[in-house]
Amino acid sequence: MQRFFHPPVDQWERLLKRPTANLTEIEPLVAEVFSAVRKKGDLAVKKYTEKFDKVQISSLEVNQAELKQAQNEISPDLQRSIQSAKRNIEAFHKAQKTSKVQVETQPGVLCWQEKRPIEKVGLYVPGGSAPLFSTLLMLAIPAQIAGCREIILCTPPNSSGIIPAVIRYTASLCGIQKIFKVGGIQSIAAMTFGTESIPSVYKIFGPGNQYVTLAKQWATRYHVSIDMPAGPSELLVMADKSADVDFIAADLLSQAEHGPDSQVIFVTTEPSLLDKVQNAIEDQLMTLPRRSIAEKALEHSKLICLPTAELAQNFINAYGPEHYILCVEDESEYLLNLHNAGSVFIGKYTPESAGDYASGTNHTLPTNGYSKQYSGVNLDSFTKSITFQKISEKGIKGLGETIMHMASAEGLQAHKNAVSIRLKKISDGL
């Protein structure tokens, strides 16, 4: 781990930087797959699944029997845990519902804003070393609460051509009926253009490797929107001497085990913590099954001591962490001065794992400093707002003059006419 003691502000840039993968190299591949899927539909999807996932799929959609069977394949303990997590995530996301905002801005001029669900959404859940059913909970639950009419799931098949039981179970539990055994670039292309089996959608959600990340960006060229730009997962822990170093070390390691490119940052105002945290990490690392992954992530992770709370707060805002654990005596000062973060975990009994799985908050969050301008996935991610207005005769008489002056000043006579023709008919008593 790299250590920095009181780094001057003009040297922060290097500390704030994420290792950015250059995705231009894989652009030609993404373009090729998109073009093939657009032209050949299912045939191309199956071809690339065979090529990349090394498995032949005859029917892309998971059938009802496979869905029903899932329940028998996973332990009652895990089922109960997933149900508990679902209840919490549901409670938190249901609370995000907003009601119609309505204002009579001047007499007879009634304006309102309503949110309506995005009709068709596509969820992506990556495969890889373990089935990430928690991501499915985080996407499917708000999509259902928002009322999206068509919710589809794409996730890569394993080497036997099947979707892990826990993913099928979670999908069923969340009421997702349309699951497709397809991952990678070909799945994003399929949800963009639609194929014989896979419907096209308006917005695509979910994390993925660099191929999926670039494919999602590519999809935005074709009238599809995406949840947010993605990058490797990150955690910043801020602690003072009131914190428990074993907890801090465990939290930093929980981030480090995600992947070799995970970002792990420890910030403190207490110099003695640098040694203590590093020692605790080394102790706990020994017994980790994913030790070699965590070690790689730790190589470029940073332990930083800053001289004052104010500088620490500035640093954290400049970094804009995806996950931010705050273990200090004066929490409220840090929270008051926080501008940029995805999700914040406060106090010694609030590990990042809680939010990753089961406390209720969403774990699909902006990385790579994007918390400066992006929200994590939330209920509104699955809706769009529409404004409405209804103006009465009295209303247009009161507002007309203003509109006409402004339209004239912008040189838009027809805009003015749309008002004057109404005012004239009113005054003519027509």
Binding mask 31-50 for a second copy (x = CB under 8 A): --------------------
Residues 49-78 that bind a second copy (CB under 8 A): 74, 77-78
CA distance 34 to 209: 17
By the rule CB under 8 A, 410 interacts with a second copy: yes
Q: Which is nearer to a second copy, 49 or 381 (CB)?
A: 381
CA distance 201 to 149: 11
Q: Which is nearer to a second copy, 60 or 297 (CB)?
A: 297
Decide if 305 contacts 4 (C-beta within 8 A): yes
Question: Choosing from 322, 329, 331, 352, which is the catalytic residue?
Answer: 322
By the rule CB under 8 A, 105 interacts with a second copy: yes
CA distance 311 to 44: 53
Q: How many residues bind a second copy (CB under 8 A)?
A: 127
Q: Which is nearer to a second copy, 311 or 423 (CB)?
A: 423
Q: Which is nearer to a second copy, 113 or 279 (CB)?
A: 113
Q: Tell me which amino acid residue 302 is.
A: K
Q: How far is the CB of 246 from a second copy (least distance, A)?
A: 6
Task: Candidates 202, 261, 300, 314: give the one binding a second copy (CB under 8 A).
Answer: 202
Q: Which is nearer to a second copy, 47 or 419 (CB)?
A: 419
By the rule CB under 8 A, 30 interacts with a second copy: no
Helix (H, G, I), strand (E, B) or coil at 24: helix
For 203, other C-beta atoms within 10 Å of its C-beta total 21
Q: How far is CA 369 from CA 88, 238, 346, 385, in A?
A: 28, 17, 20, 26
By the rule CB under 8 A, 376 interacts with a second copy: yes
Task: Candidates 54, 414, 428, 429: give the one binding a second copy (CB under 8 A).
Answer: 414
Q: Which is nearer to a second copy, 49 or 195 (CB)?
A: 195
Q: What is the CA radius of gyration of the chain?
A: 26
CA distance 179 to 64: 10
Q: How far is the CB of 3 from a second copy (least distance, A)?
A: 21
Decide if 135 contacts 170 (C-beta within 8 A): no
Residues 112-171 that bind a second copy (CB under 8 A): 113, 116-119, 129-134, 166
Task: Candidates 172, 190, 355, 367: give the one binding a second copy (CB under 8 A).
Answer: 355
Structure-block tokens of residue 376: 């994590």
Task: Candidates 190, 256, 305, 328: give the one binding a second copy (CB under 8 A).
Answer: 256
Structure-block tokens of residue 70: 């899932």
DSSP string, 176-231: --EEEE--HHHHHHHHHH--SSS---SEEE----HHHHHHHHHHGGGT-EES----
Told to judge if 323 belongs to the known catalytic residues of this protein, a careful annotator would answer yes
CA 350-317-276 angle, to 5 degrees, is: 50
Give me the helix-helix angle, 291-299 and 245-256, nearest 10°: 100
Task: Candidates 32, 61, 246, 295: give the one binding a second copy (CB under 8 A).
Answer: 246
Told to judge if 401 belongs to the known catalytic residues of this protein, a careful annotator would answer no
Piece of 49-57, 174-182, 271-279, 412-420 that binds a second copy (CB under 8 A): 412-420
Q: How far is the CB of 252 from a second copy (least distance, A)?
A: 9
CA distance 252 to 293: 13
Q: Which residues are catalytic?
A: 322-323
